[in-house]
Amino acid sequence: MARELPIDADYQPMERFPKPLDLAQVCVYELSISSAGLFLFLPFFNLLHPSCKYVL
């Protein structure tokens, strides 16, 4: 004898997954934050690995 499962009228299976636009927006935010972070830490990387010698 098969048991009947209760049917939820408000159930929408696509609600569990984010929209593609949301995923793209998160990727853009991550790229902008990482590029800003690299730009801010660029002087520290330059101090660790200088490309030229300074003569005073």
Tell me: the pLDDT tens digits for 43-52?
887 777 766 6
Residue of 22 and 11 predicted with greater confidence: 22
Residue of 31 and 16 predicted with greater confidence: 31
pLDDT of residue 34: 92
What is 14-55 written as a DSSP string?
GGGS--HHHHHHHHHHHHHHHHHHHHHHHHHHHHHS-SS---
Residue of 50 and 56 predicted with greater confidence: 50
- pTM of the entire predicted model: 0.46
Buried b (16+ CB within 10 A) or exposed e, 32-54: eeeeeeeeeeeeeeeeeeeeeee
Residue 35's pLDDT band, with cuts at 50, 70 and 90, is: very high
